[in-house]
């Protein structure tokens, strides 16, 4: 039996490093048989911090069997040049592409940390969307369904709330949600509150076994969590979606990210920032 390879991975940025982590993770998951140990190094904005970081990377390189991998998104050239001297495989997103983009666009990049995130309009749109979502969680109030960009519909615990919050935070989308109650499900009709907003509805469904597991955590061995209840509710919810031509998706093996992007696409929603 061969031992599994281990690698230290650094995510380095002069800002949050969120984009370097996102793309770095997408690349790392292409390698299944390596154990990666991750270290995030955000806000490396000065030469001094960069030198400290290089010392840390070099020490890791000496202690480990293999040198580390560094994913960086560093706009500041001075910092980037220092980080590049570290003993590591350096995947530098800015180095790789900025030159090509400069040639294509016929101009020089600013090579400085940008202000994308320091944007009051963006912050406000986000706050508004988050507040909207919190105020319309679990169908607490229908008075502003008309202001919603989308209304997620599904049985209790089918994944509506995290999906709504993700859409609010990530895209500024005003996502309300409406939990289908047993009464709603017994009827052949759409719930009264939803009727005026049929074009905004998107359904979430889930595997009954998974729903059972989730509900067991909340109220163990109750009617609510019984597998028979879960089966019936899911079946009736799906029948409702089909009867009224409501687009829907199964959340069971999907991440919140995948759900959000699928809903954006299906409902033709535009991000607000």
Q: Please report, as residue ranges, which positions from 141 to 170 form the binding site for a copy of itself (by CB under 8 A).
A: 159, 161-162, 165-166, 169-170
DSSP conformation letters of 14-47: SS--HHHHHHHHHHHTT-TTEEEEEEEE----SH
Q: Would you call 112 helix, strand, or coil by DSSP?
A: coil
Does 2 participate in binding a copy of itself (rule CB under 8 A)? Answer: no
Site residues (CB under 8 A) for a copy of itself, limited to 242-271: 253-258, 260-262, 264-265
Does 239 participate in binding a copy of itself (rule CB under 8 A)? Answer: no
Residues listed for the chain = 273
Query: In the complex with a copy of itself, which residue's Cβ is closer, 15 or 197?
Result: 15
Contact string (CB under 8 A) for a copy of itself, positions 102-121, x = contact: --xxxx-xxx--xxxxxxx-
| Torsion 248-154-178-243 (CA) sign | positive
Spatial separation of the C-alpha atoms in residues 233 and 58, rounded to whole Å: 57
Find the angle CA(198)-CA(154)-CA(213) to the nearest 5 degrees: 170
Q: Which stretch binds a copy of itself (CB under 8 A): 45-53, 100-108, 193-201, 224-232?
A: 100-108
- Residue 16 has a CB neighbour count (10 Å cut-off) of 14
Site residues (CB under 8 A) for a copy of itself, limited to 124-143: 126-127, 130-131, 134, 137
Does 123 participate in binding a copy of itself (rule CB under 8 A)? Answer: yes
Site residues (CB under 8 A) for a copy of itself, limited to 164-223: 165-166, 169-170, 210, 214
- Answer for which of 47, 55, 89, 140 binds a copy of itself (CB under 8 A) is 89
Site residues (CB under 8 A) for a copy of itself, limited to 6-65: 7, 15-20, 22-23, 25-27, 29-34, 40, 42-43
| Torsion 221-223-225-229 (CA) sign | positive
Type and span of the H or E element at 256: helix 256-266
- Answer for which of 73, 76, 229, 249 binds a copy of itself (CB under 8 A) is 73
């Amino acid at each position: 039996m061969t031992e599994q390879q281990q690698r230290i991975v650094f995510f380095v940025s002069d800002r949050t490093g969120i984009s370097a982590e996102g793309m770095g993770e997408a690349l790392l998951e292409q390698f299944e048989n390596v154990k990666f140990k991750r270290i995030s190094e955000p806000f490396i904005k000065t030469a001094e911090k960069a030198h400290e970081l290089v010392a840390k990377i070099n020490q890791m390189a000496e202690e480990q069997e293999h040198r580390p991998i560094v994913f960086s998104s560093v706009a500041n050239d001075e910092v980037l040049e220092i980080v590049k001297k570290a003993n590591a495989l350096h995947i530098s997103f800015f180095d790789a592409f900025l030159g090509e983009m400069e040639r294509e666009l016929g101009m020089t990049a600013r090579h400085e940390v940008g202000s994308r995130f320091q944007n009051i309009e963006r912050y406000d749109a986000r706050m508004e969307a988050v507040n909207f979502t919190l105020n319309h969680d679990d169908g607490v109030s229908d008075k502003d369904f008309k202001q919603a960009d989308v209304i997620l519909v599904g049985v209790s615990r089918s994944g509506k709330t995290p999906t709504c919050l993700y859409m609010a935070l990530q895209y500024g989308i005003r996502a309300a949600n409406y939990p289908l109650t047993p009464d709603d499900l017994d009827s052949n009709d759409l719930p009264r509150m939803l009727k005026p907003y049929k074009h905004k509805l998107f359904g979430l469904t889930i595997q009954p076994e998974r729903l059972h597991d989730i509900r067991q955590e909340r109220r163990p061995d109750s009617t609510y969590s019984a597998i028979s209840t879960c089966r019936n509710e899911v079946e009736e919810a799906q029948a409702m979606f089909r009867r009224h031509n409501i687009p829907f998706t199964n959340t069971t093996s999907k991440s919140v990210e995948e759900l959000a992007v699928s809903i954006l696409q299906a409902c033709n929603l535009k991000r607000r920032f």
